[in-house]
Amino acid sequence: MSKHDKEKHQPIKLQRQNALDEILAYAEAQQTELALAQEHTNMLREVLNTLSHDLKTLLSVINTNVYLLDRKTSPDQKQRLLGQIRTQSQYLERLIKDILTISRLDVMPCFSLSPVKLDSVANTIVNQFQVIAEAHALRLELEVDKNLPAVMANEIELHRALSNLVENALYYTPSTGTVNIRMTSDVTSVLIDVRDTGIGIAEADLPYIFTPFYRASNAREADSHGTGLGLAIVKKTIELHGGSIEVRSHIGKGTVFRVRLPIAAIPTSVA
């Protein structure tokens, strides 16, 4: 007997109950979808609010400094104002770059992937940040397991995400501290730990640090020029690689970000 025939022979009451259950399940699914869309809209509204406020503040600081520059005559004062304008416009540039990156990842959530050897990415990052580390009397260490498997990745995007974690670690670690990058693997994944001995993140802040524009108060005190978009970009990038990121931290002791990326499948030879 076919499914249709079976349904035909069900008592009318049962058929009605089944139809009702289906309608209820459909309504529930629609409600969940609506709630998600609403949440997305609220988040977008919040992001736009913060963004407009940040841009407005930055531009008014620049405009005020330009206005004062026009009126000051002492070379020292002019130099100081020029320095402030330079700092604010560099921050503005960083903010716009981060906004463009995050919206590109939202609009085009796919990369071209190929097998990438992470040891060479890590070496490039360490070379790139060594000067900054030395300038702040920080130790930057790299440990990579021998025969670390390749991962399927877009090298440019992955390089940017890992650089961001290392840059944060250096920024939020006071002089004489250490930033350590460690790459290991298990059966399915490559694990990348970026560990620092820095200011740490309070437990209450931990659930929010991947949210766009969220900055913990101890970070705002330590460095006033972060955009608060870096970790949102890192998380999105890692997830688009099929990976995940988690964080452990103790205030005043340090932080570890662990990135997990799936190992690239080894092509099996065709017999």
- The footprint of ligand ADP (CB under 6 A) covers 168-169, 172, 196, 198-201, 209, 214-216, 219, 226-232, 255
CA distance 103 to 108: 8
Q: Least distance from C-beta 183 to ligand ADP, angstroms? A: 18
Distance of CA 133 to the CA centre of its chain: 22
Going by C-alpha positions, the residue among 208, 98, 222 that lies closest to residue 160 is: 98
Distances in Å between the alpha carbon of 10 and those of 2, 14, 212?
13, 6, 54
CB-CB contact of 167 with 138 (8 Å): no
Q: Least distance from C-beta 70 to ligand ADP, angstroms? A: 32
Q: Least distance from C-beta 50 to ligand ADP, angstroms? A: 13
Distances in Å between the alpha carbon of 22 and those of 6, 25, 26, 131, 166?
17, 5, 6, 63, 51
Nearer to ligand ADP, 63 or 103 (CB): 103
Nearer to ligand ADP, 81 or 129 (CB): 129
Kind plus residue range of the DSSP H or E element containing 151: strand 151-153
Nearer to ligand ADP, 200 or 243 (CB): 200
Nearer to ligand ADP, 148 or 201 (CB): 201
CB-CB contact of 239 with 162 (8 Å): no
Nearer to ligand ADP, 158 or 219 (CB): 219
Q: Least distance from C-beta 203 to ligand ADP, angstroms? A: 13
Q: Least distance from C-beta 133 to ligand ADP, angstroms? A: 14
Nearer to ligand ADP, 65 or 168 (CB): 168
Distances in Å between the alpha carbon of 104 and those of 111, 113, 123, 218, 229?
11, 17, 27, 30, 13
Going by C-alpha positions, the residue among 229, 233, 198 that lies closest to residue 215 is: 229
Q: Least distance from C-beta 245 to ligand ADP, angstroms? A: 11
* Alpha-helix residue ranges (DSSP H) falling in the chain: 3-8, 12-71, 75-107, 118-135, 155-171, 217-222, 230-240
Q: Least distance from C-beta 221 to ligand ADP, angstroms? A: 10
Nearer to ligand ADP, 198 or 243 (CB): 198
E-assigned strand segments in 186-265? 189-196, 244-250, 254-262
Q: Least distance from C-beta 102 to ligand ADP, angstroms? A: 10
Nearer to ligand ADP, 236 or 241 (CB): 236
